[in-house]
Amino acid sequence: MLPIDLRGKRAFVAGVADDGGFGFAIAKALAEAGASVCVGTWPPAMGIFETLLSRGKIDASRKLSDESLLQFEKVVALDADFDTLEDAPQEIRENRRYRERGDFSIQGAANVLVEAFGTPCVDVVVHSLANGPEVKNPLLETSRKGYLAAMSASAYSFVSLVQRFGPLCRPGASFLNLSYLASERVVPGYGGGMSSAKAALESDTRVLAFEAGRRYGARVNSISAGPYASRAASAIGFIGKVVDYYVQNTPIAEPLEAAEVGNVAAFLASPLASGVTGTVVHVDKGYHAMAIPVDVEGATIKR
């Protein structure tokens, strides 16, 4: 038996604000494997998330296999658009949803962990963040501002996480991000520079695997997840149709479950994956391997 054993490890999962996305599923899988888990939450969503936790509204989702509930060591305010608090405009810092959250930058999140746990203090860092303010715009109709915003929030934020959390890592640490097949192929309707941001994220994964490997001894990988109808994914407006198309055309003709992404993340974070770095792992029921739809005449294999 080769168990995924993360007992004694601490994870920081950036981008958890509810129980409906890949970030939460990854946090839960890491906890199932024995890790303690801290999460970074976008300040405007933090109050609602804290209420969901305190009132038991997501207890069913938090239940682990031993009947205990997923607990978070820390819920940290994090707006990954800002490397330091000084980078945030004054109007953001004075906004009522931000001003009581302290230092909500990426460096601020790192400082919270150091203050709470000392250094080194982290073994797993997960980037479950993406935002494109013009995601519904075709690339030909995307502004420079919208394009750069997508790159900043969805790709550079991972670089910044590795920069700032790398020095906090214990030996054998693992960094992980979440990508999507739009980095490699055209997904009409997934616009605003988001496909470019995912391509950059995967390229950065390879470069950071080398640089962070040599500097911190850390591994860096990416999961290219299939479509999943999370609250965040609903922003593109047609996620249900994408999920249906995948189910019709994947080798394993069933919807992707968030837990399946979480399980692969736990493996990549564990010593079992000590030889894996600089890799994009597709967790999409095999859709990435397909070249034509299965409903093309003569293409369907009957059982």
The whole-angstrom separation of Cα 123 and Cα 129 is 19
Instruction: Give the global pTM.
Output: 0.95
Q: Are 134 and 143 in contact (CB under 8 A)?
A: yes
The pLDDT, as a whole number, for residue 242 is 87
The pLDDT, as a whole number, for residue 229 is 76
What would the pLDDT profile of 154-185 be if each residue is shown by its tens digit?
999 999 999 999 999 999 999 999 999 999 99
> Angle at CA 102, nearest 5°, toward 126 and 135?
50
Q: Which of 180, 216, 228, 246 is catalytic?
A: 180
Please name each of the domains of the chain with its CATH number: 10-289 (3.40.50.720)
Q: Are 114 and 166 in contact (CB under 8 A)?
A: no
Q: Which residues pair with 130 in a beta bridge?
A: none
- Say whether 190 is catalytic: yes
- Say whether 180 is catalytic: yes
The pLDDT, as a whole number, for residue 237 is 65
pLDDT band of 235, cuts 50, 70, 90: low
Q: Which residues pair with 221 in a beta bridge?
A: 176
* pLDDT at 301 > cutoff 60: no
Give 209's contacts (C-beta < 8 A, 6+ positions apart). 219, 220, 221, 277, 278, 279
What would the pLDDT profile of 29-70 be if each residue is shown by its tens digit?
999 999 999 999 999 999 999 999 999 999 999 999 999 999
Q: Which of 98, 156, 190, 246 is catalytic?
A: 190
